[in-house]
Amino acid sequence: MQIIKDLVEKHYDSIVSLRRHFHTYPELSAQEFNTQQRILEELSALGLTPRKIAGTGVIAKLQGALPGKTIAIRADIDALELQDECGKPYQSQNPGVCHACGHDGHTAMLIGVAKTLVELKDRLAGTIIFLFQPSEECFPGGAALMVEEGALADVDAIIGTHLWQSLSAGTSGISYNRMMASPDSFTITIKGRGGHGSMPHQTVDALLVGAQVVTALHTIISRNIDPLEQAVLSIGSFKSGDTFNIIPDTATLIGTVRSFTMDIKKIVFDRMEQIVSGICLAAGATFQIDKNLGFPPVINNPQIAEVFANASVETLGAENTLTIDPVMGGEDFSVYLEKVPGAFIFIGTGNKDKGIIYPQHHPKFDIDEKALAYGTETMVRTAMKLSSSL
């Protein structure tokens, strides 16, 4: 329907303005009070009756004029603990807090979807549930609390988008099964016996043991996981010692494991235990491994992904609607997918000509704002298709 494109164009300036507002005033997970208030005001102005949910989240319902299914659309609203260096007039005014993952755009787009669908109410089948979710950036995440408080009550399907820098603006990317990995983390604490740097024979060098552990852990994926499977193990932090002439008694390693199945997850963590145990035993050190199992993987429903892709084709064209390989990043949108069928799609935001080249979670992250119209239109088309066809 051409009217959808026309209405999104009509609301485009307000969507951009909202995105810049949220980017200027970002708030951390579970602290999105001003963001929540602005969302409540915007939805109320549309004649909807939004309410608070999950602490700092918002839920609202739009009833169409025609019979149909109930479709939920989700946006995450929290920012990162990061100093914004985008250098634009809308750069964050909250020190150390930054929308460097695109959630400002997600929030603005979903408000834009609401604005558009309200004007299409007479043509709309079923019911649309707008979910503005807090706390995606921290585990256990806000999705679980949204579900616990009834966000998916009577919902037949759910959709969501993520602005994605590695795809060019004007394109989208979707997978028809695995979309995003399960993000787990771990902390390994190694205890040795410290001493003078000139007398290493009197010590159990925790730093040396830790270095051996780091090297050995990186053999797990290459030697214990089927090469046709997808898995990642990365060490992000290794801390041991404070000065040049003291052999440290403690080393701490922090890292992440990414996988798509419980079987792979188990293999990785079992081998981690064996490797750390063996190295520490040989060195005379002791250890502790603390695991933090994160969100489940995002696994798209193939049928709903197909509807999403068709909506993207109508918005961007078939040549710009890309079938992509899964990515190893995590997302608590997966919590909703464990309850109801749904799909997640990436909306490209990169643009080298405009200098929009920095990845998610980078201080200079920014988006090509044309992507906001593409994402809004794709969600509107998908929601209307699903509500009338499921």
Domain 2-180+297-389 fold? Aminopeptidase (3.40.630)
Give dist(CA 224, CA 230) in Å, integer: 12
What pLDDT shows up at residue 390? 64
What pLDDT shows up at residue 292? 95
What pLDDT shows up at residue 225? 98
The two three-digit tokens of residue 219, written as one number? 């053999």
Taking CA 380 as the corner, what is the angle to CA 379 and CA 383, rounded to the nearest 5 degrees?
A: 80
The answer to whether residue 184 is catalytic is no
Strand partners, 186: 255, 291
The two three-digit tokens of residue 201, written as one number? 């024979």
Domain ranges across the chain: 2-180+297-389, 182-292
Q: How would you class 236 by CB atoms within 10 Å of its CB: exposed for 0-12, middle for 13-18, buried for 19 or more?
A: exposed
What pLDDT shows up at residue 90? 98
The answer to whether residue 369 is catalytic is no
Among 278, 293, 275, which Cα is nearest to 220's?
275
Catalytic residue chosen out of the listed positions 32, 76, 78, 249? 78
Q: Do domains 2-180+297-389 and 182-292 have the same CATH topology?
A: no
Residue 248: left if φ>0, alpha if ψ -120 to 50, beta else—which one? beta
Give dist(CA 233, CA 387) in Å, integer: 40
What pLDDT shows up at residue 385? 98
Give dist(CA 160, CA 149) in Å, integer: 19
Distances, alpha carbon 370 to alpha carbons 105, 169, 244, 365, in Å: 11, 7, 53, 16
What pLDDT shows up at residue 389? 83
Show the low-confidence residues of the chain (pLDDT under 70). 390
Sheet holding 286-292, edge to edge: 231-239, 250-259, 182-191, 286-292
Place of tokens 């794709």: 378
What pLDDT shows up at residue 139? 87
CATH 2.170.140.10 fits 182-292, yes or no: no
Catalytic residue chosen out of the listed positions 104, 136, 332, 369? 136
